[in-house]
Amino acid sequence: MSFEEQADFAKQVADLNKYGQALNSCETVEEVVSLTLEAVSLLFDFTSATLIEVRTNGPEVIESTNPRFSAGDEPGAVGRRAVESKETIIETGVGAGATDGSDVTATLAVPATIVDDVVVVLVIRSTTVDEIGEEYATPLEILASHAATAISNIRSRQQLERARNDLAKRKEMIELYDKLLRHDLGNDLQVISGFADVLTNDLDGEKGRYANKIHRASENSADLIERVGNLVSTLEAEEEPEPRSLKTVLETVVRNVDSQYESLTIEFDPSIFDYQVYGGDLLDSVFQNILSNAAVHNDDPVTVRLYVEELPPNRLVVGMADDGSGIPETIRDNLFEMGKKGPESEGTGLGLGFVRALTESYGGSVEVTDSEFGGAEFRVHLERV
């Protein structure tokens, strides 16, 4: 018998919709889990239910009414098969039990995916029926889908909140360093520069050249301190991220960068970037810095290919892959630290540090890998509406 052919089909649909609305209103994962297991208990006559969440480190049990499982346990064989296959698994007989000698006669494992990734698996076990048919599989797939959506939304909010908290701490440290640099070191550099200037005018020959080098070095250091101060002020002035047209931002950036560098070719199809993403007024600076770097840090002509990739449940990646000389592995791990730069770079090393600070302030992130075209590939992660 199919789900739609049951006599109480309309009532089950209404009950599932009610639980779906309640799940989407949950504030914590614990609430989602409790409500999901409650729905299984009240709407279906099964011996036990287990909810599995698939996270970065793999699938794990987050709650179960089966005494065999506890939160944090590795799922049983049927649950793992559902994660790997991304398909509903029905097991009967000896294979249905979680342990040898179990009195379980039938097991159903229902995976729920978002985009193409399994988020949760709902595992049902029974000791009273010999087989679990479509009349149970279909409504449980609906329930699992509601739970997956609710958990994904909560995890995304938690990730965004952590990013904002981390950014706040980082801003506090930057502000502290800025004050120390501007006040203490800035005053000392003024003294050094002043005396070096006097010595440059009074000394000749080699000693005069040394004095001139001291003067230039102190001036360059003072200029660097001023740049850091301006960066801090810029970040402090940034408002909370709001929905912005990714297509419009990139069209403007590509047009500006393309007009500045004759050696740079940008392959860009605006139609595939028709998304709303969360960002502030400086979102364009993120992409402009990365694209400009491709031109500045490659001696030969370079081509950058832009692409977009959706990530579950509400994120995306803007990729920028070039065919240039790449980034040395010796500096890649620290590339987004303030002041880090390549051995041949004449810049300050603040550009990519600025990129990371901005993307994290928008609840996103940035990473760099090797490009399939032989150069570097930057991937900017952002929240999408």
What pLDDT is recorded for position 64? 93
Cα end-to-end span (Å), the chain: 40
Domain boundaries, the chain: 3-159, 240-385
Amino acid (1-letter code) at residue 188: D
What pLDDT is recorded for position 251? 96
Q: Which tens digits make up the pLDDT trace of 345-379?
A: 444 445 688 788 888 888 899 999 999 999 999 99
CA dihedral 336, 340, 346, 347 (to 10 degrees): 50
Q: Are 111 and 52 spatial neighbours (Cβ–Cβ below 8 Å)?
A: no
CA distances for 122 relative to 57, 58, 78, 189, angstroms: 19, 15, 11, 65
What pLDDT is recorded for position 164? 74
What pLDDT is recorded for position 60? 93
* Structure-token match 């048919």, residue found: 133
What pLDDT is recorded for position 328? 83
Q: Which tens digits make up the pLDDT trace of 238-295?
A: 566 789 999 999 999 999 888 888 899 999 999 999 999 998 877 888 998 899 889 8
Q: Which CATH architecture fits 3-159?
A: 2-Layer Sandwich (3.30)
Q: Tell me whether domains 3-159 and 240-385 share a fold.
A: no
Q: Which residues are bridge partners to 54 per DSSP?
A: 59
Q: Are 196 and 214 spatial neighbours (Cβ–Cβ below 8 Å)?
A: yes
Helix (H, G, I), strand (E, B) or coil at 231: helix
Q: Which tens digits make up the pLDDT trace of 297-314?
A: 888 999 999 999 998 888
Give the separation between CA 50 and CA 65, rounded to whole angstroms. Answer: 6
Q: Are 123 and 52 spatial neighbours (Cβ–Cβ below 8 Å)?
A: yes
Q: Which tens digits make up the pLDDT trace of 141-195?
A: 999 999 999 998 888 888 878 777 776 776 676 666 666 666 667 777 888 888 8
Q: Which of 261, 252, 257, 303 shows the shortest CA–CA distance to 279?
A: 252
Write down the CATH number for the domain with range 240-385.
3.30.565.10
At 371, give phi and psi (nearest 5°): -85, 145
HSE (side-chain half, CA atoms, 13 Å) at 287: 31
